[in-house]
Chain A
Amino acid sequence: MRINPKYTQWGAVTILTSATIFTILILVFIIFFILEKGLPVLGLSFLTENPQEMGKAGGIFPTLIGTIILPVFALLIATPLGISTSVYLAEYTKETRITKVIRFGTDCLAGIPSIIFGLFGYIFFVITLGFGWSILSGGLTLAVMVLPTIIRTSEEAIRAVPNSYRKVSFSLGASRWQTVKKVVLPNALPGIVTGIMLSIGRSIGETAAVIFTAGSSLRIPSSVFDSTRTMAVHFYILAREGISSENAYGTAATLIIAVLFVNLLAYYTMHRFIAKRS
């Protein structure tokens, strides 16, 4: 029997709409739940004071520093490496078996659980290279972890740039590098930035890979060879060891607000860039 399209249309709209509303509700609930428990603790002193009694009292200032410095360190390494690799893969090689193997490899790496990267970082950077639990080890580990994401998103963004732009550029006497610099990268930038944002988000929220490599020292680091603690690790330790659930939620709320802020800033900057070009 054939159902009247009027009813199937109504059915489809109902299912799709409720799925969307359900998804958004879950998200809103999580954020609301954490903010509700965390915001009462949050205040200027919570952000600027050192923790006392392992974080039972006091603020989270050192973990704020750790949360900024580790992802920045990781991204400073991973971004140029990742973008260069993606430009090479997308612009300088023909599609061969080797590029397919490289692509498959990066896809696999992107799917590996972060704790494996943590273990690798611990054995290689901390022990073998002797960097110890430090910003250096943690940053390098995070860089290795987010590298596949940056490579794949950048490569997709570069491939999405219309071929006609490249053709025009070549026809006006541009070399391949000039074409990449003046036409391909500027047009792929929004996609590349999305990949970098994802990576920043992953680095900020990471615990397993960080705890093995950067340690969990609550002192303010004075060099890249010092151990540090990120907000995510701090939250994990506070909650896991039952030190203080209030301060754990305060940390979580700070983390959420920080990630939101970074994303908004990136979108604002990118929209201004796109508006300027079109």
Chain B
Amino acid sequence: MNIKFKIENLSVYFGKEQFLNSVNLEVEANKILGIIGPSGSGKSTLLGALNRMNELEPYCRTEGTILMDGVDINSSTYNVINLRKKVGIVFAMPVPLPMSIYENVVYGVRLSGVNDKKRLDELVEKSLSEAFLWNEVKDRLNLSGLRISGGQQQRLCLARVLAMEPEAILLDEPSSGLDPISTSKIEDALNQLKEKYTIVLVTNNTKQAARISDNTAYFLLGDMIEVGSTKQIFTAPLKKETDDYITGRFG
């Protein structure tokens, strides 16, 4: 078993309020870890700690260590810009930047100084294919990213992350605003992507976690209640809280 992230005693505060209470969690490489739990349980805060997007909020304080391949990425000496290039994130609401589909995909790569047209073309085709979007947009790559449907926009956001060839991909309720067909396309994409990437998927939809994640963690009010293989969590949870949540008695 290959561990990508080893999270130790992670606590996150925004102002005086604590959003994560000393969480310990291991994320396996090349697997999908589903994170479930009611709203306010700290799921998104955990993602925000993994690529340090939390820091953009004022008054945020993060304690504990997050080892990525053995290196503490939560340390103040760790270069946060490099971290975000290695750990990409797809947000709940698709936000294409107001530029063409092509430029959206290569946005992150261009920032790193890649400007070779041939290389960028390759990356665009590869990333859009991996996000199951290439066939739908290959003839109109110059169209604004704002002019495609919501489901396509979300896959564009995924392709934008893939183009940077990251090591891990975080998804924060990526299909909360999508129709079932777009959702299944995203899930198909994720199932193939886990061969190359480590994936952490936060979802409000327990069925989605049951469908595609290899491991599942249950969060409640900032505490990590339980983590295990998806099969075990959904058939024989060890904790009563988990059982209550997945059977719908609570949340």
Contacts and interface: CB of A to CB of B under 8 A. Distances in A.
A182 B157 CA distance: 17
A174 B82 CA distance: 9
Interface residues of A, number: 20
A277 B164 contact: no
Interface residues of chain A: helix, strand, loop or mixed (majority)? helix
B97 A165 contact: yes
Contact of A277 (B56, B81, B91, B144): B144
B89 A171 contact: yes
B88 interface: yes
Contacts of B114: none
B165 to A, nearest CB: 12
Q: Taking each of B58, B81, B93, which has the highest tally of chain A beta carbons within 10 Å of its own beta carbon? A: B81
A277 B99 contact: yes
A164 interface: yes
A173 B91 contact: no
A77 to B, nearest CB: 31
Contacts of A165: 95, 97-98
A169 interface: yes
Interface in B86-107: 88-89, 91, 93, 95, 97-99, 107
B112 interface: yes
B97 A174 contact: no
A177 to B, nearest CB: 11
Given A175-B81, A277-B144, A278-B144, A170 B95 contact: no
A171 B51 contact: yes
Given A172-B161, A173-B81, A164 B95 contact: yes
B238 interface: no
Contacts of A170: 53, 56, 84
A95 to B, nearest CB: 9
Contact of A167 (B56, B58, B99): B56
Of B56, B98, B144, the most chain A CB neighbours within 10 A belong to B98
Interface string B107-119: 1100110000000
Given A167-B91, A278-B147, 16 more contacts: A94-B58, A164-B91, A164-B95, A165-B98, A167-B56, A167-B95, A168-B91, A169-B97, A171-B84, A172-B84, A172-B108, A173-B85, A173-B108, A174-B81, A174-B108, A182-B111
Interface of A: 94, 162, 164-165, 167-175, 178, 182-183, 186-187, 277-278
